[in-house]
Structure 1
Amino acid sequence: MLKLDGIATFVAIAEAGSLSEAARRQRLSKSVISDRLAELERNLGATLLHRSARRLTLTEDGTAFLERATRITREVEEATADMAERRGALAGPLRISAPVTFGRMHLGPAIYPFLARHPEIELTLDLDDRRVEAGADSYDAVLRHGPIADSRLVAWTLARSRRVLVAAPEYLARHGSPASLAELDGHAGIFYTNRGAADWRFSAQQGALSIRARSALRVNNGDMMRDAALAGLGIALLPLFVAGAEIGGGRLGVVDVGVQPEAEFIYLAHPEGRRPSAKLRALADCLRQAFGEPPYWERLEPHRSV
């Protein structure tokens, strides 16, 4: 007879990639983890993992079993959380993905009080600037920054997000401040690689326009883009949640080219067809309240370039 703890242990090992890491995540000894896996394999009559001195890999049987084992484990966790919610408590695991810079600067400070109020929630927060898929990567939801366009996800808007072109005053003193989209062509740009070639998109009367300046730096992190702009390497299109403090302090100047970048938002998205849990809805409400309307990072008066 299969035991749920054995199935959960196998899923933890597959996700962690090692017995030691799975033991740490489950707060058990490595010997208990190993025994549970061995018992599961005996009951199934199949080897689920190839073991070597350097790593663990799934066998063909292990790959086939993992999909259902993951679903079983998630359904048990959700059922347990539902029972807790019936008693008026928010409890159980919650797995969220979020961008690195926004997570560090704004998400963390907003969720710490939420977790303190609901100590039975077990939050796993993965900070990654890659565009992860909520359903495929087993996240309850993904926090994203950008336009809302993916129809496979249900998106809850948390806050608006305004982006502005910025540069260091020293850069603008040396190269001049462009006053139109056409004049951007002669400047060095700092680009966010995860947006591809269409990083600089603006809303004009004739529709959306994508502008390409000469690339001085392409990087997949907002902190480094801001720092590169501060170092005078070029012009960057940055959200105010990244650059607001530097703009307010005069360390970065806003470059006004007469049109606005496309509208973007901070939003929480979960897979279509999956019922969001009460704790996910409560987290979304908490984040909306913490960010405010307008969001607090947009309440600084920007220093315009000259």
Structure 2
Amino acid sequence: MMKLDGVVAFVVTAEAGSISAASRRLGLAKSVVSERLAELERTLGTTLVQRSTRKLSLTNGGRSFLPRAQRILREVEEASSELAARSGKLAGPLRISAPVGFGNLHLGPALGRFLRDYPEIDLSLELDDNFVDAASGGFDAVLRHGAIGDGRLIARRLASSRRLLVASPGYLDECGIPTTLAELERHRGILYSNRASDWRFATASGWSVIRPRAGLRVNSGMLMREAATEGLGIALLPTFFIHEALANGTLTQIDIGQQAEGAELFLTYPKDHGASAKIRAFGDSLRRTFGSPPYWEKIPGI
């Protein structure tokens, strides 16, 4: 009979890329993971994983079995979650990915509240600014800000954020305050390197994309905020990065009479996974912590 712990060992090994990485993720010795995997192969009568000293790869049988094995584990986890929810208690693992900057700034209190409400949940959070595939990355759900555009995913909106043009008072004293899109384009910009057309503004004729001279390109919103504070140029950032800097005056909002494209925060998960009771509880908890409108939108005078 096929044992569930062998299926777990196979799926985690396939997703992690090695038995060593799988053992770390599962909190088990490499020998235990390897033996469970070997036992599953004996039960199925086929080799699932091709092992070598350099790398690990799936055989044709392993590639065929993987989506079915993942579905088995999802069904077991969802059934367990539903039973726990009916009894008023949620328990078990929940693996989440989130962007680094947003996670560092806002997820500490949110996770504290969630785990106080559901102490039996074993939560794992990984912060990563690279694209994380919620459909095949081994996570139960992924927090993202910005457009989703992936038909494999369900996206649950958690909160919104305006995106504001900001600069330091010193930069504006030295270089002047732009009041139109044309003037803005002549300034130094601190640009987010992962979006080619990041500065989009709503005008009477539709969206207008501005491409200022790049003073700095970087893939970190937090570093963009610090660069703007240091007077390196103008940045267009979500309020969840800059609400405190605007409140204490280290950054100043620039008003050019046009509204920039906003940012939305979503909790995404695969359609074929479905929203388990734990994912729903996690999303509900985040929304309660962030508020409606979220607390980072409540900036005095802005």
State the TM-score, normalized to the length of structure 1: 0.90
8 Å contact kept, 1:148–1:264: no
Offset of 1:189 from its aligned partner? Answer: 0.8
Does residue 44 of structure 2 align to residue 58 of structure 1? no
Secondary structure of the residue that 1:197 maps to in structure 2? coil
Cα distance change on mapping 1:258 and 1:151 into 2, 3 Å? farther
**Residue by residue, what CA displacement relative to the aligned partner does 1:3-27 show, whole Å, maximum 9, x if unpaired?**
2111111112222233233223323
For 2:143, the equivalent position in structure 1 comes to 143
Alignment of 1:1-306 (within 5 A): 1-146=1-146, 153-194=153-194, 196-272=195-271, 274-301=273-300
Cα deviation per residue 1:126-153 (whole Å; 9 max; x = unaligned)? 3222343422334433222235766654
Write the distance in 1 (CA, Å) between the matches of 2:212 and 2:190: 9
- Secondary structure at the counterpart of residue 198 of structure 1: coil
**Alpha-carbon displacement from aligned partner over 1:63-104 (angstroms, at most 9, x marks no partner):** 222222222122222222222222111123323222211111
Q: Which moved more, 1:88-97 or 1:6-15?
A: 88-97
Amino acid aligned to 2:207: A
Residues 41-79 of structure 1 show CA distances to partners (whole Å, capped at 9, x for unaligned) of: 222232222323343222333222222222212222222
Which whole-Å CA distance do the structure 2 matches of 1:275 and 1:204 have between them?
A: 38
Aligned residues of 2:227 and 2:233 also touching (Cα < 8 A): yes
Q: Secondary structure at the match of 1:174?
A: helix
**Identical aligned pairs, as a percentage?**
56
Gaps of 5+ in 2: none
* Paired residues of 1:147 and 1:263 also in contact (CA < 8 A): no
Q: Following the alignment from structure 1 to structure 2, what is the Cα–Cα distance between the partners of residues 7 and 270?
A: 21
State whether residues 84 and 91 of structure 2, in contact with CA within 8 Å, keep that contact through their aligned partners in structure 1. Answer: yes
Report the secondary structure of 2:90's partner residue.
coil
Distance 1:13 1:295 in 2: 39
C-alpha separation in 2, matches of 1:232 and 1:302? 22
Cα shift at 1:186: 0.9
Give the match's secondary structure for 1:124: strand
Query: In the aligned structure 2, how far is the partner of 1:134 from the partner of 1:31?
Result: 29
Distance between the aligned counterparts of 2:181 and 2:78, measured in 1? Answer: 51
Q: Which runs of 4+ in 1 moved over 6 A?
A: none
Q: SS of the residue aligned with 1:284?
A: helix
Change over 3 Å in CA distance of 1:154–1:41 after alignment to 2: closer
Write the letter of the residue equivalent to 2:160. Answer: R
Compared CA separation, residues 198 and 112, structure 1 to 2 (3 A): same
Report the more deviating stretch, 27-36 or 129-138: 129-138
Structure-2 separation of matches of 1:271 and 1:28: 27
Conserved 8 A contact 1:201-1:208: yes
> Shift of residue 106 of structure 1?
0.6
> Structure 1: 5+ residue runs without aligned partners?
none
Secondary structure of the residue that 1:212 maps to in structure 2?
coil
* Alignment RMSD: 2.2
State the shift of 1:248 in Å.
1.4
Deviations 1:174-211 (A, max 9, x none): 211111111012111111122x2210111122221111
Matched residues in 1 for 2:29 and 2:266: separation? 39
**Counterpart Cα distance in 1 of 2:151 and 2:28:** 41
The size of the alignment, in residue pairs, is 302
Q: Is the 8 A contact 1:141 1:268 kept in 2?
A: yes
* Letter paired with 2:300: E
